[in-house]
Amino acid sequence: MEDAFRTNKEVIRYCTDHASFDRSRTLLAEAFNNQGVYWQELGERDSAIRVLKSSVDILQTARNRSILTSVYINLADCHLQKGDYPHCGFYYRKALSVSDSLGFGYRDHFAIYSGLAKLYLELGNFPEANEYFVKAEQIGNSCTPYERYFFSNTRGNYYYNTKEYEKALDWFRKADRITDAFPQPLYKAIVRGNLGEIFILIRQPDSARFYLDDARRLFGKAYEQPSFRYYMDGLYASLALLENDLSQAERLLSSAHDLNQVNPLYTYYNNRRMEELYYKKKDYRKAYEFKDKADMLNDSLRNMKVRNSLAEIDFRYRQDTTLLKMDIQLINTRDEMSRWKTIAYYCVLLLLLSLLASLCWILYRRRKHEKQYWIQMATMNRLRMAVVRNRISPHFIFNALNIILPTFRQYDGLDKPIRLLIKVLRGNLFFSEQIAVPLKDEIQLVKEYLQLRLLGNPDRIRIIWELPPEIPDTWKIPSMSVQIPVENAVKYAFDPENEEACIHIRIIEKQGSLFIAIEDNGVGLAADMQNRQEEQGTGYGLKILRQTIDILNSRNKNKMNFIIQDRSLLEPGGHGTLVSLVVPLDYTFDL
């Protein structure tokens, strides 16, 4: 790919220097078309669209326009991959019109019809998608192997969406046979993943596992891309649910993923899987929560499809109207053309007025329901936050008293410990009532807690602070988000005989976010959880902290990230636990 791209740039440079020759302009347009394909393969679709439009501009004035249909098809494919369905349909129809006008017959029609079928499948317009599938099937002998693969895989997806799984299986198998001759394993990996999903749906777990494992192998390094990994983890979770391996399903579905890089449709499927998981575990409350999430996401996807369908219809209408005007201009006189233009104008105006009135009514009803919904959500979130916060204070007071009571027996002078205890309790009680606190106040509370906790043996754990020179009052974090991980590290991370116990707290600000890391060199995450069970620790503080962050993230576009990792998995020879918190500086803590 890199060599082809480099050679193609040499062609572009040569043709640009000799642009006065018609053959050079035609070759330059072809080189731009090739460059657009390269950018498309690399996922740089905006760059691809830019150079493909340059190719179109050159071909408009060139004598030889034979590749113009191909350029329009590539433009349509780019817009389809971007989810810009109106422009996708526009360019496919431009390709169809140019192909007919250049007299190429059905040479490019198979690719165009297959692309339009894919477009209407994405829009959920199954009757129109099937109409184009049938048209493509009638001229399937004139296509390339890749076009046959694209058609077979897309046809399989059509029957998957219409729940005709046996027909979907037949088409995916056809696509699988076609990819045997492909040098790139990625295409076969995609088809094998589709086959695995179909076998899950028809309840054949052994076949499903075979195809999913083979797809994972074929994806290679691409498997670690967030979108591929999330998609495959979801399929493996469905397989685990089919086999009633609930622990495996929960592990896969609970894995951390960056949802910004994931197709929202896959998120909807995973919420459905979580609903099924908790239903099987008889945790009906959680099952209902995930059902509610899935329904909300499904409504959002459905609304998006409706908007895209309306936009595509509008684009198609304008495109068809343009062709109609051209036909009228060729056939009728100027007066007749003027009359038709007037009729078309009033029809469009009436249609737009009707659409505008309908849209205003829909927006009014939607805004009314959204306002009522957010009022209810705000009330519910305040109640949930009140419950969460009220649980922290008694838990902390109980622990603090267990710490200070032995001190009464060991020291004659009780003034300093008692003062410190009162100070820590006062700070904790205040923090437990707050959703967010200034970072500098949280740091002060943690320092006072550590002084209290290590009062009897201050050298038992070495504390390293790595802080910015100045901490503005505007830097805020969720209250107790540093205190709880530090407290857990002190209580559970170290064996009594560990003489090099160390807790390293780092806080830096970069790229508009606060990066907070609490790192210890203790026994590690797995042993740490064992220590909690032996000491009958509930781990409730971390549960509360996660719940708090989930509630706050639901009201923010830029999400807060909270991750706990075992250091042995991050670096060779490492041990201990790393707790990371990333808080955007523009984060809002209002409910």
119 contacts 136 by C-beta, under 8 angstroms: no
Mean pLDDT of 325-330: 50
Q: Which pLDDT score is estimated for 204?
A: 94
Indicate if the pLDDT at residue 463 is higher than 50.
yes
Q: Kind and range of the H or E element at 478? A: strand 476-478
Tell me the pLDDT band of 269, cut-offs 50, 70 and 90.
Answer: confident
Structure tokens at 415: 């003034």
In sequence order, the 6+-apart residues with CB closer than 8 A to the CB of 548 are 385, 388, 435, 478
Q: How many helices (H) and strands (E) does the chain have?
A: 21, 7
**Length in residues, the chain:** 591
Q: 3-class DSSP state for residue 581? A: strand
Distance CA 126, CA 138 (A): 18
Residues 257 and 236: their CA atoms lie apart, in Å, by 15
Q: What is the DSSP letter of 258?
A: -
Amino acid 383: pLDDT: 47
Res 227 pLDDT > 90: no
Q: Is 132 helix (H, G, I), strand (E, B) or coil?
A: helix
- Sorted by sequence, the CB contacts under 8 Å of residue 523 that are 6+ apart come out as 493, 494, 495, 531, 575, 576
**What is the model's pLDDT at position 324?**
46
The gap from C-alpha 49 to its chain's centroid, in whole angstroms, comes to 23
| pLDDT range class, residue 472, cuts 50, 70, 90 | very high
Query: Of 99-113, 130-144, 406-420, 510-524, where does mean pLDDT reach its minimum?
Result: 406-420
Distance CA 33, CA 75 (A): 9
Percentage above 90 pLDDT, the chain: 24
What average pLDDT does range 514-523 have in this prediction? 93
More confidently predicted of 210 and 15: 210
Mean pLDDT along residues 532-542: 59
d(CA 233, CA 249) in angstroms, rounded, equals 9
Backbone angles phi, psi at 338, to 5 degrees: -60, -40
Three-state SS at 509: strand
Amino acid at 250: E
